[in-house]
Structure 1
Amino acid sequence: MSLTIKSEQECRWDIASLGEVMLRLDPGEGRIHTTRSFRVCEGGGEYNVARGLRRCFRMRGVIVTAICDNPVGRLLEDCMLQGGLDMDYVSWKPFDGIGRDCRVGLNFTERGYGVRAAVGCSDRGLSAACQMKPGEVDWDALFGRDGVRWFHTGGIYAGLSETTSAVVQEAVQAARRHGSIVSYDLNYRPSLWKSIGGQARAQEVNRAIAPFVDVMIGNEEDFQASLGLSIEGSTEDFSRIDHESYRRMIRRAVKEFGFKAAATTLR
């Protein structure tokens, strides 16, 4: 199948992304629990896609998210402005003074060395983005009035809270209605789904979103955990996978959900 992408002339945006943007705190060559200083930047699974397209390929991009309106949120804004994405669809939420009702999500990340992978520790509960609800974003203005060639979101934002999955469903349906290409990164994280229904809920949510997706992105664990598609002959930890069985699983996913493309790699 081929992808029919709207022309640049009929759209204000080449790329729009929906997701949480966090402050990322990097301890440099040290460890999170021993450092006395952090380097700060912004980041988020869905946001990074649009930011990369803006910075590397000069594509016109916009981020849809919510941020707590306090000095920490304005620090995040300052970082995001350097990233180059338009912030017309950022919703600023009032700060209650101590972060009981609303705050900015933090992501502490140690660098990987040699065989040791990078280590992350998130502190993102009650963030403004995770409290977004259906009806808060004017999707018809974004996709209809402004026009978007490609819309991207993913499973991290869908699993962030009990309401964000509904926001994602609302967004992908609006994007499809207005003819924008939709990509979705399954990006399964057990910790995100643990308190809101676990893997069963993840599959329920992602299978509801999947029919509105043109390009589905994920690895072998993502397709199995998020969509319930098993790979015959694979071990539980995916240390051994039959490549032909894996290809059959991808073909089955494309046929079942109607994806125009599936972007996938083996870990």
Structure 2
Amino acid sequence: MSRKLSIKPAEECRFDLVSLGEVMIRLDPGETRIRTARQFQVWEGGGEYNVARGLRRCFGLRTALVSAFADNEIGRLAEDLILQGGVDMSFVKWVPYDGLGRTVRNGLNFTERGFGIRGAVGCPDRGLTAASQLKRGDVDWDYLFGELGVRWFHTGGIYAALSDSTPDVVIEAVECARKHGTVVSYDLNYRPSLWKGIGGHEKAQEVNRRIAKSVDVMIGNEEDFTACLGLEVEGVDENLSNIDVEKFKQMIERAVTEFPNFLATGTTLREVHSATVNDWSAIVWYDGEFCESQAFPELEILDRVGGGDSFASGLIYGFLTTEDPKKAVNYGAAHGALAMTTPGDTTMVTVQEVEKVMAGGGARVVR
């Protein structure tokens, strides 16, 4: 039996996509290290937000963010960066700042890119953030999904892991989205350091398996499916290298059997030769079949952070505009590959550049 996504027409909705998640200020030391830096470049970033920004800036769709910030200069810096990206902030909650951060603050993320045999390093500083303190009932989801209309809703496991209350916010959101016929995507994005503070691995599985019951499009890599949903990939070593794609496909087939609400699953396949050279590709399961993207062997990387989010935004764009899984997975893989050639968490490329790569275009100078 054919089971395909049912996507609302654009003219019936205010937004093409809305994301729920935290946005941090990223402090990037460039070519040096955090521990020896004398200056940092400033970006904004967050796993769920990066998808909304990619769809707006690269692909020109109408997107919005649901989040919260402490109302101080750091929060207003984040606002300025987000508005530069064109993402609607009408559903962002501003929380009064206490002057010191005793009760509420904004998140920071110190991230160095890595080079060669030295891997990328992230050092987040995000305790007591405003976004992590959102609670069930803080957002009028019925107004957003029911009255305004949203074609696609995206959130993920990073936001779900931020506090005791954020899983309930995610569950409230995805259940309401489905009630109003909005497609729901979820990026598992497993981060052991985040779940450690609220119950660890067992809590991660409990929360993510509950959320998974309301998800249409599940996104994640082999570690995500194993850690968050308890689905093992046979033949994968502890470093998650040398993945047998056929074994991974078998795991996805088990996932869609256990969660029959999954209408599509997507994942990137990355083999790390060094911090700056990776093999990169992607797979999507849709309507009972697998579609593999074009491969990018020995892809040269400037900044790998946000590559998976850019894959997700390209994948979603493909489904929203073509409903063709082969095109969708290639939009995702090409966008993710290009995004990793520029600094920062978010994309700096255009849809024309993505489509040029999809068509086999090279890197000759454009004059």
TM surpasses 0.5: yes
2: CA distance, partners of 1:192 / 1:29 = 27
- Per-residue deviation, 1:55: 0.1
Please, which of 148, 151, 165 is the counterpart of residue 149 of structure 1? 151
- The one-letter amino acid of 1:237's match is N
My pick for the range that moved more, 130-139 or 231-240, is 231-240
- Per-residue deviation, 1:125: 0.3
1: CA distance, partners of 2:37 / 2:238 = 36
**3-state SS in 1 of match to 2:36:** coil
2: CA distance, partners of 1:58 / 1:209 = 29
**3-state SS in 1 of match to 2:43:** strand
What is the CA deviation profile of residues 122-176 of structure 1, one whole-angstrom value per residue up to 9, with x for unaligned ones? 0000000011110000000110111000100000000111110110000000100
My pick for the range that moved more, 233-242 or 159-168, is 233-242
Q: Which residue of 2 aligns with 1:11?
A: 13
My pick for the range that moved more, 181-190 or 106-115, is 106-115
- Per-residue deviation, 1:229: 0.7
My pick for the range that moved more, 133-142 or 235-244, is 235-244
Does residue 224 of structure 2 align to residue 222 of structure 1? Answer: yes
2: CA distance, partners of 1:174 / 1:66 = 20
Does residue 255 of structure 2 align to residue 247 of structure 1? Answer: no
Q: Which residue of 2 aligns with 1:96?
A: 98
**3-state SS in 2 of match to 1:133:** coil
- Per-residue deviation, 1:36: 1.7
2: CA distance, partners of 1:114 / 1:204 = 37
- Per-residue deviation, 1:111: 1.7
2: CA distance, partners of 1:116 / 1:261 = 35
**3-state SS in 2 of match to 1:93:** strand
- Per-residue deviation, 1:240: 4.6
Alignment of 1:1-267 (within 5 A): 1-258=3-260, 259-267=262-270
With normalisation by structure 1, the TM-score equals 0.97
2: CA distance, partners of 1:81 / 1:179 = 28
My pick for the range that moved more, 196-205 or 243-252, is 243-252
My pick for the range that moved more, 109-118 or 160-169, is 109-118
What is the CA deviation profile of residues 188-235 of structure 1, one whole-angstrom value per residue up to 9, with x for unaligned ones? 000000011111100000000001101100111100000001123433
**3-state SS in 2 of match to 1:87:** strand
**3-state SS in 2 of match to 1:16:** strand
My pick for the range that moved more, 208-217 or 27-36, is 27-36
2: CA distance, partners of 1:25 / 1:237 = 28
- Per-residue deviation, 1:117: 2.5
- The one-letter amino acid of 1:257's match is F
- Per-residue deviation, 1:246: 1.8
What is the CA deviation profile of residues 216-260 of structure 1, one whole-angstrom value per residue up to 9, with x for unaligned ones? 001111000000011234333333544332211101101211200
Stretches of structure 2 lacking an aligned partner (at least 5 in a row): 271-367
With normalisation by structure 2, the TM-score equals 0.71
- The one-letter amino acid of 2:118's match is R
**3-state SS in 2 of match to 1:201:** helix
My pick for the range that moved more, 107-116 or 50-59, is 107-116
Q: For this pair of structures, how many residues does the alignment match?
A: 267
1: CA distance, partners of 2:24 / 2:220 = 22
- Per-residue deviation, 1:264: 1.5
**3-state SS in 1 of match to 2:109:** strand
2: CA distance, partners of 1:161 / 1:80 = 23
- The one-letter amino acid of 2:32's match is G
Stretches of structure 1 lacking an aligned partner (at least 5 in a row): none
- Per-residue deviation, 1:31: 1.3
**3-state SS in 2 of match to 1:88:** strand
- The one-letter amino acid of 1:246's match is F
1: CA distance, partners of 2:121 / 2:27 = 12
**3-state SS in 2 of match to 1:212:** coil
What is the CA deviation profile of residues 86-134 of structure 1, one whole-angstrom value per residue up to 9, with x for unaligned ones? 1110000110110010001001111222232221110000000011110
Percent pairwise identity: 67
What is the CA deviation profile of residues 42-87 of structure 1, one whole-angstrom value per residue up to 9, with x for unaligned ones? 1100000000000011100000000000111111111111011111
